[in-house]
Chain A
Amino acid sequence: MKKYGTYIKLYIIFQIQNIKSLAQYRTDFLMMVFFTLFSQGCNLGLICIIYSNIPQVGGWTMWEIFLLYGFLLFSEGFINFFFQGAWKITNMIHMAELDRFLVRPVPVGLQLLTAKIDFDGLNKMVIAIAVMAAGFGQCGMEWNVLKAAVLCVFMAEACVIRVCMIWTASCISFWMEGKKNSLNYFVISLGEMAKYPMVIYSPIFRGIFGYLIPYAFVSFYPVGYLLGKEGTRAGALGISFFCALMLAVSYMVLKRGLANYESSSY
């Protein structure tokens, strides 16, 4: 147990080092605040425009869709800020930068996760929280302590599932020699599907992109359960299971991958 305490401490130290680099990119950060606000505004505007013509999509109102969006955006921001390193693995393997990490007496996984930080994640998380606050406000939810706790747990689990997705997709690079791996990019683009309720898709699509790549558990089931939508109860129970499964898969992929790793430098 003490071991894990040390890891958390190390994680914080690494991240503080990363945060110091913010000073270097101050204007960049301000520009990104603007660009992110602008782009997320456009995305939300699109949903508004669709809804200005129609009352509902698959039985969901606009504010309910905003909740799905909020879950997705929050997890994206979470990755960007806390575990952006998951994106960098591909490049590190390609450029043999990983060698440097292998010789240090700190777990490679921890070093990889903290290899990079993207301050844009902060913007995204703030926007996501604002969107969700507005969404919950408009949906007329009755809050109690239990529900608030469930919401927090769901959000944490959604973030973990999403980090593991990117992580696993990036780690596939261990088996792809000399090629650029864009699977992680592909996986993140799939998030587009999770912006709308899973019920609207055909069964094959739902099977592959909702369950095989467990996007259904990132936004659809948590939000559906909180709103008391029909048929989401069983799925909501599955979130924790998928969260654990994804963690196990990520762990295995890294372990196997490292065993398989051959440096391309000398």
Chain B
Amino acid sequence: MKKYLAYIRCGFLEGCAYRSTFITGMLANFIQAVVLYYVWKSIFTYQDAVNGYTWEIMKQYVFVAFLCNSVFSMGFEMSIAERIVKGDIILDLLKPLSYRGMLFFRMLGTAGLEFAATFVLIGSVYLAVNGLRYLSGMRTVLFLISLFLGMGVKFCIQYIFSLLCFYTDNSYGVTKAREILTNFFSGALIPLAMFPGVLRDVVNILPFQGIIYTPCCIFIGTFSARESMISILLQIVWIAVLGLLGTLLGKKAFGVISMYGG
């Protein structure tokens, strides 16, 4: 465990060192949140409710979704691809600890920093817009659990995508594709309840909703207590499934690399 703690520290320091990358990423997301805020605002001046969502709920959703999206925003596909090209990856694989565990704890360190920074920013914006009236202690606790599990789901997905980098040099494309997939299907941009017919069913069977939509709905209270529990359980199931998939793919992918020197 001590070994992994060192990696948490490592990730934290890494986050500090690359803060400009993180801040610009966060600002870009924030602009998107602000734009969506105004889009919804103008929509709700014409009608009271869209698909069961009122302006009151939407005002919260936009900002909570932004918080969920900003935590753990840095993808590690690019850096892995770079290490594969340079051959440094072998040093990671030779270490006497699990490769995935190392990545996870490193991410956790960075995510801690990101969470703190985003929380301060978005917390104040949220309070300025919505005030205290919607907050509930029980839901907040469940939200934090669900947010953490959502990070787990996101990590598993990223890990699987990063394994693709063993097969292709185009890490930029891989990262981009993963980012768009998660943004689109996780509810980062609009609540998944608004998706029309078939697409809604597709979204339901995909793991992406666990990343943002589930924690958000728990926080703003569109999920009942029972629904919240079921969704949290679903997140855990997805982590197990994707984790297993990652292990299997990992075994294959690590066999592919061949490099000179070392």
A49-B194, A200-B38, A200-B42 given; 6 more Cβ-contact pairs under 8 Å: A28-B173, A42-B181, A42-B184, A49-B196, A53-B194, A55-B46
Interface bin, chain B: 35 or more
Nearest-neighbor residue (CB-CB) of B184 within chain A = A42
Instruction: Flag whether A211 is at the interface (Cβ < 8 A).
Output: no
Instruction: Flag whether B258 is at the interface (Cβ < 8 A).
Output: no
Known: A31-B173, A186-B27. A56 touches B46 (CB 8 A): yes
What are 26 of the A-B contact pairs (CB < 8 Å)? A31-B168, A39-B176, A42-B184, A49-B194, A49-B199, A50-B194, A52-B196, A53-B50, A55-B46, A57-B39, A57-B42, A57-B43, A179-B20, A182-B20, A182-B21, A182-B23, A185-B24, A186-B28, A189-B28, A190-B31, A192-B32, A192-B35, A193-B31, A193-B34, A200-B42, A202-B38
Nearest-neighbor residue (CB-CB) of B168 within chain A = A31
Contact B170 A32 (CB under 8 A): yes
Instruction: Flag whether B13 is at the interface (Cβ < 8 A).
Output: no
Contact A50 B31 (CB under 8 A): no
Instruction: Flag whether B41 is at the interface (Cβ < 8 A).
Output: yes
Instruction: Flag whether B85 is at the interface (Cβ < 8 A).
Output: no
- 0/1 interface trace, chain A 18-39, chain B, CB 8 Å (1 if under): 0000000001100110110011
The list of the 7 closest CB pairs from A to B, nearest first, reads: A189-B28, A200-B42, A182-B24, A35-B173, A58-B42, A39-B180, A42-B184
Instruction: Flag whether A205 is at the interface (Cβ < 8 A).
Output: yes
Contact A195 B35 (CB under 8 A): yes
**Could you tell me which residues of chain B, from 163 to 177, have a CB within 8 Å of some CB in chain A?**
168-170, 173, 176-177
Interchain CA distance A57-B190 in the complex, whole Å: 15
Q: B residues within 8 A CB of A205?
A: 34, 38
Known: A45-B184, A49-B195. A35 touches B38 (CB 8 A): no
- 0/1 interface trace, chain B 192-233, chain A, CB 8 Å (1 if under): 001110010000000000000000000000000000000000
Instruction: Flag whether A152 is at the interface (Cβ < 8 A).
Output: no
Nearest-neighbor residue (CB-CB) of B194 within chain A = A53
Q: B residues within 8 A CB of A7?
A: none
Contact B28 A185 (CB under 8 A): yes
Nearest Cβ distance between residue A65 and chain B, in whole angstroms? 10
Interchain CA distance A45-B189 in the complex, whole Å: 11
Interchain CA distance A126-B28 in the complex, whole Å: 25
The one of A49, A55, A58, A195 that contacts B190, using a Cβ cutoff of 8 Å: A49
Q: A residues within 8 A CB of B51?
A: 53
Nearest Cβ distance between residue B219 and chain A, in whole angstroms? 22
Count contacts on A: residues with CB < 8 A to the other chain: 36
The one of B41, B50, B169, B195 that contacts A54, using a Cβ cutoff of 8 Å: B50
**Could you tell me which residues of chain A, from 199 to 228, have a CB within 8 Å of some CB in chain B?**
199-202, 205
Q: B residues within 8 A CB of A52?
A: 194, 196
**Could you tell me which residues of chain B, from 43 to 79, have a CB within 8 Å of some CB in chain A?**
43, 46-47, 50-51
Instruction: Flag whether A134 is at the interface (Cβ < 8 A).
Output: no
Nearest-neighbor residue (CB-CB) of B29 within chain A = A189
Q: A residues within 8 A CB of B195?
A: 49
Q: B residues within 8 A CB of A179?
A: 20
Contact B173 A189 (CB under 8 A): no
Q: B residues within 8 A CB of A53?
A: 50-51, 194
The one of B42, B169, B170, B190 that contacts A46, using a Cβ cutoff of 8 Å: B190
**Could you tell me which residues of chain B, from 3 to 22, have a CB within 8 Å of some CB in chain A?**
20-21
Contact B50 A32 (CB under 8 A): no
Q: B residues within 8 A CB of A46?
A: 184, 189-190
Nearest Cβ distance between residue B180 and chain A, in whole angstroms? 5
Interchain CA distance A199-B42 in the complex, whole Å: 9
Q: A residues within 8 A CB of B20?
A: 179-180, 182
Contact A189 B38 (CB under 8 A): no
Nearest Cβ distance between residue B165 and chain A, in whole angstroms? 13
| Residue from B39, B47, B169, B181 with most neighbouring chain A CB atoms (10 Å) | B39
Nearest Cβ distance between residue B137 and chain A, in whole angstroms? 32
Instruction: Flag whether A196 is at the interface (Cβ < 8 A).
Output: yes
Contact A54 B189 (CB under 8 A): no
Q: A residues within 8 A CB of B34?
A: 193, 205
Q: A residues within 8 A CB of B184?
A: 42, 45-46
Contact B190 A200 (CB under 8 A): no
Contact A31 B170 (CB under 8 A): yes
Contact B46 A54 (CB under 8 A): yes
Interchain CA distance A180-B177 in the complex, whole Å: 26
The one of B21, B47, B50, B177 that contacts A39, using a Cβ cutoff of 8 Å: B177
Known: A50-B194, A57-B39, A196-B38. A28 touches B180 (CB 8 A): no
Contact B32 A200 (CB under 8 A): no
